[in-house]
Amino acid sequence: MPALVLSDRKIVHVDGADAGHFLQNLITANLDAVQPGEARPAALLTPQGKILFDFLVTKAGETGYDCDIRADCVDDFIRRLTLYKLRAAVSFDKRDDMPVIAGWDGAAPMGALSDKRFPAEARVWRLHGAGAVLDADMGQWNAERIAYGVAESGADFALSDVFPHDVLMDKNGGVDFRKGCYVGQEVVSRMQHRGTGRRRVVTVTAETALPAPDADGAGIAILAGEKPVGSLGTIEGNAGLAIVRTDRVADALAGNMALTASGVPVTLALPSWSGLSFDSGGAAAPDA
């Protein structure tokens, strides 16, 4: 049962009489669907529908919710929530005393939360606090994310640069299309109903090690011939994640065109749990 402390994550606790209503009107996930013992993906979007913050949300106490978010985004996240607060009876607390632990492939410890970004068979969990044997490293955790096509901001995409569809939040329960309005909802709903999402997270594999990011941290471009189709994010050895244009990849596959990253031949696959596939028309289907 590998487990490790994710030092790049923090908990923001949102509580108060209006906490549920407040968050429900802001974020992409449906809080009514969040069950005790699970951590669900969610995002706060820009008005243009792009991901401003990505996080996991879980119930915490009678009226509270814990948001498991990148540590370097905590202060900005709280400032943004405060802008929307107005007169709502809600508070925001940074929990520096509560480490975030991730584990997988075994029985979860008492108090653990099922990480709903992963399929059930992966047995991935989060624990807020102590109570787990820590015997894994970040490389192993990255390999687990890569294996299941689970992307995170910073490592795999820049905030304010992607739509929820791009990172499969329409497939893992991170976006609810029936709960009503939230920030950016009109754009995201339009993409869903028109099937216009063309960028998706894929797993990338190669016979040799994948190329590391550039000196400035930018992911290496994936090319179909000479045409870019996307760029690498997290890599671990000869496997990695990327966000690609599915129509361009489909055209390349249909034309038996080589896909490469810095000259290294690569194979791309949409995560099996997503139900998506590259079709002859160039779209990732089904998208509705």
What pLDDT was estimated at residue 131? 83
Q: Give the pLDDT means over successive 10-residue stretches in the chain (288 positions).
A: 95 98 97 96 98 98 96 98 96 96 92 96 95 92 98 96 97 94 95 90 97 79 95 97 95 94 96 86 49
3-167 folds as Gyrase A; domain 2 (3.30.1360)
Helix H, strand E, coil C: the string for the chain is CCEEECCCEEEEEEECCCHHHHHHCCECCCHHHCCCCEEEEEEEECCCCCEEEEEEEEEECCCEEEEEEEHHHHHHHHHHHHHHHCCCCCEEEEECCCCEEEECCCCCCCCCEEECCCCHHHCCEEEECCCCCCCCCHHHHHHHHHHHCCCCECCCECCCCCCHHHHCCCCCCCCCCCCCCCCCHHHHHHHHHHCCCCEEEEEEECCCCCCCCCCCCCCCEEEECCEEEEEEEEEECCEEEEEEEHHHHHHHHHCCCCEEECCEECEEECCHHHCCEECCCCCEECCC
Question: Per-domain residue ranges for the chain?
Answer: 3-167, 198-285
What pLDDT was estimated at residue 122? 95
139: Cβ contacts below 8 Å, ≥ 6 apart: 236
What pLDDT was estimated at residue 281? 47
User: For the whole model, what pTM was predicted?
Assistant: 0.94
198-285 folds as Elongation Factor Tu (Ef-tu); domain 3 (2.40.30)
